[in-house]
Chains A and B, each alone.
Chain A
Amino acid sequence: MKTLKLTLVSAIIILISGFTSTAFAQSKLTAREIVDKAYNLPTGDDMTSNLTMTLINKNGDERVRKIKQFSRDFGKVEKKIMFFISPADVRNTSFMDWSYDDPGKSDDMWIYLPALKKVKRISSDSKSDYFMGSDFTYDDLGDRKVDDDTHKLLKEETIDGVKYYVIESTPKDPDYMYSKTITWIREDNFVGLKKEFYDEDGELLKVLHIKKVENIGGFLTRTQSEMDNVQKNHKTIIKLENVKYNTGIPASKFSERMMMRGI
């Protein structure tokens, strides 16, 4: 009965957001406005989740990485802290990122290496690095700032009865690792469900598919996604579990003290 109620509430939220978005669509949104809405979907004041990454190579061999993560929006800055649970050789490593709304301000990032017993500040250029050997960069896992790219509405497309905006985003930084991305954003709720990443030569490099979106506590949450590297024929599957919103994570959680203490 409770499940039915929740499902009903979720359906209503999606329905309402559908109506709202239809109204926006009718008013001819610009590409930037569409991306802005997709980037700024409600995500709650804070979130806790368990993240499992499965790395699959071209032979089908799998490697699994598990992480516990916490994030909180402080207004002008969003703070995130991750604790690595497995594999064993990286257990208790932690990573902290402070991401600022100010487009001119780079992220602050720290990593704690338990073998060195030391928190090290790292360059925010590391956001282009691949995360734990996966097909996701640090940037792919976070939300890129809307004005880091120039956006163009290529077309509107209907797939399986669902209408999508197809947006091409070109980075303003010519040295960025992708020459462009193309994103399929649902017109009814502004959830991006597919994204293509093109390398510096303009060739298709990776495709991100959102496999599962769940309504958790009133927030649309991408709980399963898959990134395929089409050039190297390997992929990474990410699953989010135990997702909780607005649990009141204290500000002190996002500190060197907690990085060293662990979960």
Chain B
Amino acid sequence: MITSKKSGRSLLIVFLFLSSSLIYAQQNINLNGFVRNYTALSYKNGDMTMLQNTLNLDFNLTGDKTALKANPMVYLYGIDSLDLRLREIYLDLYFNSIDLRIGKQQIVWGKADGVFITDIVSPLNLTEFLLPDFDEIRVGVYAAKADFYFGNSTIEAIWKPVFAGNELPGPGSIWYKPPEFPAPVTFDHSKEKIKPSLDNSEFYLKYSFSSSAIDFDLMGAYTWDQTPSMYIEKQIAPDSTGHPVLAGLLITPQHNRLYVAGGSFTSTIKSFVIRGEAAYYNGKYFQTKDPQAPGMLVEKNYLHYVVGLDYGVGNLKLSTQFIQKYIMDYDDLMKDDEIMNTMTFLARYDAMRETLHLELFSYIGLNYGDALIRPKVTYDFSDGFSILLGSNIFVGDEQGMFGRYRDNSMIYTKLKYSF
């Protein structure tokens, strides 16, 4: 939630932006968006776990050489809890072979669906786990982006001076699942913020090639880990008999620098579309049980990759992906698994002249046999108005990243009017 002062400032920015747009606009002003009601009920106890009304406004002003965009989004939770977000606000400049985009923007990289491997420029809003639509799960970042086009190739360079990390659920949320600690915990958030500066900037570079046979890209990044590492300091005090015992834990979340190199590709083989994406992460800190490790953390490199296959027959679309995360130079005291395997499946069927859509999407954790299963039915009642009935079902072992939320299975509806 943001404060009313912050809301007012955001509204003022939008107002100034739109005013200037209207003054200088030649033509091509578009206002689109949607209004949506999202209601969810818990399977476990019938509690209303979500009551959200959303207004999304998408202002665009386009010309031959420039474009402006502002995308404010207002979420109303319950009756009066307001959350205003300015998801994007940026200026585009178009030259013959160069495009520049400056401002707050969402940047999407990679070829995988629902998995974030080279797609690391925009952080994620994980306050509702992975459930929001993927365009809403990404957080806009302040950045200057330049795309250089030559032949079938593109080089994209990004300078991100203001750090933004993943947004994680806090205490009180049904998605907040802290680990169990052997002693009382206190948090020190003083080192979590990163001051905007040239030294603290993030830099990303991508080369893309598109052709009849294959599309591929290669990327590199000098970035921050978007999820903070938890430095744990043990606080020892004597007990009533004078023996030293563990009295508490001081946890200091802190972001660390990461170097990332990777790439992705997509191609067609007969009726199949084959996709792949991989990245090597250098400098990640993982939790360890080793009592000698400073902060109970150990630095390791890891490989994260996905291969996927899409197939369509008539109105039925099928897609599957295999994802693996492999920690190099692993030691047995680490809390994470050395190899983490996950799969995704998607089946989608369009009926009634593409007005009725049946979809089943699932993540399956192969290490612990847990899963998130997401069936949904969407009916386009009229042009722009859709009704969705769906369910998010968490099953399996509580140690798995999906099984741990098995009390959060829900049924939900979304009514959406696009304009």
Contacts and interface: CB of A to CB of B under 8 A. Distances in A.
Given A108-B212, A117-B108, A118-B108, A123 B384 contact: no
A98 interface: yes
Interface string A171-187: 00000010000000000
Contacts of B272: 123
B383 A130 contact: no
Nearest to A91: B32
Given A125-B271, A133-B355, A234-B353, A257 B147 contact: yes
A106 B213 CA distance: 10
Interface string B96-139: 00010000001110000000000000000000000001110000
Nearest to A98: B212
Interface in B244-301: 266-268, 271-273
Contacts of A177: 314
B19 interface: no
B418 A87 contact: yes
B384 A257 contact: no
A127 to B, nearest CB: 11
The dominant DSSP class at the A interface is mixed
Interface string B375-419: 000001011101000000000000000000000000000001011
A124 B312 contact: no
B383 A86 contact: yes
Contacts of A105: 212
A55 B353 contact: yes
Contacts of B341: none
B273 A257 contact: no
A160 interface: no
B383 A87 contact: yes
B173 interface: no
The dominant DSSP class at the B interface is strand
Contacts of A242: none
Contacts of A123: 268, 271-273, 310-312
Contact of B312 (A63, A91, A121, A125): A125
Nearest to A133: B354
A224 B313 CA distance: 30
Contact of A106 (B266, B268, B312, B313): B268
B215 interface: yes
B7 interface: no
Contact of B386 (A86, A89, A121, A252): A89
B201 interface: no
Contacts of B4: none
A23 interface: no
B212 A128 contact: no
A108 to B, nearest CB: 5
A126 to B, nearest CB: 6
A252 to B, nearest CB: 8
A121 B354 CA distance: 20
Scoring A125, A128, A252, A262 by chain B CB atoms within 10 A of each residue's CB, the highest score goes to A125
B200 interface: no
B260 to A, nearest CB: 19
B418 A88 contact: yes
Given A87-B418, A108-B212, A129-B315, A257 B354 contact: no
Contacts of A1: none
A246 interface: no
Given A117-B135, A128-B314, A129-B314, A89 B268 contact: no
Contacts of B67: 261
Interface string B20-61: 000000000000101000000000000000000000000000
Contacts of A108: 212, 268
A201 to B, nearest CB: 16
A57 interface: yes
B149 interface: yes
A230 interface: no
Interface string A200-234: 00000000000000000000000000000000001
Contacts of B210: 255-256
A11 interface: no
The 8 closest A-B pairs by CB, nearest first: A133-B354, A87-B383, A133-B353, A89-B418, A88-B418, A117-B108, A115-B135, A125-B271
Given A88-B384, A128-B314, A234-B353, 20 more contacts: A63-B382, A88-B383, A89-B384, A89-B416, A91-B32, A98-B212, A108-B212, A115-B134, A116-B108, A116-B134, A117-B108, A121-B266, A123-B271, A125-B271, A126-B312, A129-B315, A130-B354, A133-B355, A256-B154, A257-B154
Interface of A: 55, 57, 63-64, 86-89, 91, 98, 100, 105-106, 108, 115-118, 120-126, 128-130, 132-134, 177, 234, 252, 255-257, 261-263
Interface of B: 32, 34, 62, 67, 94, 99, 106-108, 133-135, 147, 149, 154, 210, 212, 215, 266-268, 271-273, 310-315, 350, 353-355, 380, 382-384, 386, 416, 418-419
13 contacts: A64-B383, A89-B386, A89-B418, A108-B268, A117-B107, A117-B108, A121-B273, A123-B268, A123-B310, A124-B268, A125-B271, A125-B312, A257-B154
